[in-house]
Amino acid sequence: MTESTTVPTGASTTASPVLRLRDIHLSFGDHEVLRGIDLDVSAHEVVALIGASGSGKSTLLRTVNLLERIDDGQIFLQADDISDPRTNADAVRARIGVVFQSYNLFPHLSVLDNITLADRLVHRTPKAASEKRALELLDSVGLADKARAFPDRLSGGQQQRVAIVRSIATEPELLLLDEVTSALDPELVGEVLELVRALKSRGTTILMATHEMAFAREVADRVAFLHEGRIEEIGPPSRVLRAPERERTREFLARFLPPS
């Protein structure tokens, strides 16, 4: 029996997963924030992490990108054990796209330069090829006319869409989205969610933390409900988010309760 079939993570396909988390533990001082997480994300799958504020969603995403080092367990990206301390973190990060809550664009670079920077520096893609691809991506999200603009000339929703375009410009194997709509005014949320929907339809493999329950229901193949550092429930949105009262309670908790 292979390792990927020994843990009941509820993965929806039998293909080798893009990401495998095995018994992940992580503490900050005395506070054990991740308490034995097992999770597979298959190719082209969208998995949404939901849970109250402080349940460990962001921390889990940060461990995958090696921004936090785990205390115990293993993280596999494709066949590679990236939790091995000898792993080159920069090489791993070049394979994973990340978008955080605040857009984090470089303010002194144009939209085009923001998008092409990693491709040119990390992947050594020639400037012309990198810009051609970036312009195609911008065009596909309706932002081609902003290519030469600087971030401060864009709305929050436009900045976040550029950040997402930047994260996929290098064609990462996995995309991590951490509350990508939380910092936005409500009227700007829709355009960002629309872009995530488009990524899903292109087959991007996504692990995302979200408080947007309706969105998780619509876009996620599976939803993982985190509670106090453990995955309490995982499965199709129709099952995990089945009770409207529970959904509302979770949304309320996630938005308003301070981290424990």
Ligand X SMILES: Nc1ncnc2c1ncn2[C@@H]1O[C@H](COP(=O)(O)OP(=O)(O)OP(=O)(O)O)[C@@H](O)[C@H]1O
Binding site for ligand X (CB under 6 A): 28, 33, 51, 53-59, 179, 209, 254, 259-260
List strands edge to edge, sheet with 31-41.
Answer: 31-41, 19-28, 72-77, 80-81
Nearer to ligand X, 57 or 166 (CB): 57
Antiparallel, parallel or unpaired: β 72-77 and 19-28: antiparallel
Side-chain half-sphere of 227: how many Cα atoms within 13 Å? 7
Q: Quick check: 221 and 47 in contact, CB under 8 A?
A: yes
Q: Which is nearer to ligand X, 28 or 252 (CB)?
A: 28
CA distance 134 to 57: 30
**Which is nearer to ligand X, 55 or 65 (by Cβ)?**
55
Min. distance of Cβ 230 from ligand X in angstroms? 12
Please state the closest distance from residue 211 (CB atom) to ligand X, in A.
Answer: 7
Q: How far apart are CA 74 and CA 82, in angstroms?
A: 8
Q: Cβ of residue 15: shortest distance to ligand X, in angstroms?
A: 29
For every residue of 236-251, which 3-state class applies, written as one string?
CHHHHCCCHHHHHHHH
Closer by beta carbon to ligand X, 88 or else 260: 260
Residue 4 DSSP symbol: G
For strands 19-28 and 206-209, give the pairing: unpaired
Q: How far is the CB of 240 from ligand X (least distance, A)?
A: 16
Q: Which is closer to ligand X, CB of 16 or CB of 53?
A: 53
Q: How far is the CB of 103 from ligand X (least distance, A)?
A: 16
